[in-house]
Amino acid sequence: MPRAHPAALRRALAYIDDHADRPLTVAPIAEAAHISVRALQYAFRRHLDSTPLAHLRQVRPSHAHDEPAAADPEDGSTVTDIAARWGFHHPGRFATLYRHAYDRSPRHTLRDG
């Protein structure tokens, strides 16, 4: 059975998840978790074998996937708009990451729901 994450790490993960659509650095994540930047980095390394920003880079595609799946293609949403909203400012890179993660293009997800 996996061990529960410490409270500070849970706060950091929640903050990342809730603010993934914004430009983030480790300082505000640590502040939200009520720990120092160094303690935050240590917690991520120890419990997740990752870093806060690497985790953010994993969370953003997930959120970016949810949005086209729920979007109405008739409302004018575009893959480029959705990608930019989640911090992907190069549509080609976003499409490549998306296709790798979900085995379909973001355009097909937007079109087919």
Which pLDDT belongs to residue 98?
86
pLDDT lower than 50: segments of the chain: 1-3
Same domain, 69 and 88: yes
Burial label for 30, CB within 10 Å (0-12, 13-18, 19+), is: buried
- Tokens coding 17: 């998840």
37: Cβ–Cβ under 8 A, 6 or more apart, which residues? 26, 27, 30
pLDDT at 37: 96
pTM: 0.75
Domain check: are 52 and 66 in the same one?
no
* Both structure tokens of 66: 């949810």
* Structure tokens belonging to residue 30: 């640590």
What pLDDT score was predicted for residue 2?
41
Predicted pLDDT of residue 11: 97
pLDDT of residue 1: 31
Tracing tokens 């979900």 back to the chain, one arrives at 102
Identify the burial level of 29 via C-beta atoms within 10 angstroms of its C-beta, where 0-12 means exposed, 13-18 middle and 19 or more buried.
Answer: buried
Residue 90 sits in the same domain as residue 77: yes
| Residue among 54, 5, 1 at smallest CA distance from 26 | 54
Q: Is residue 97 a contact partner of residue 78, using CB atoms and an 8 Å limit?
A: no
Same domain, 82 and 107: yes
CATH code of residue 84: 1.10.10.60
Same domain, 64 and 105: yes
CA distances in angstroms from 59 to 1, 18, 44, 75, 76, listed in the order given: 24, 10, 14, 25, 25
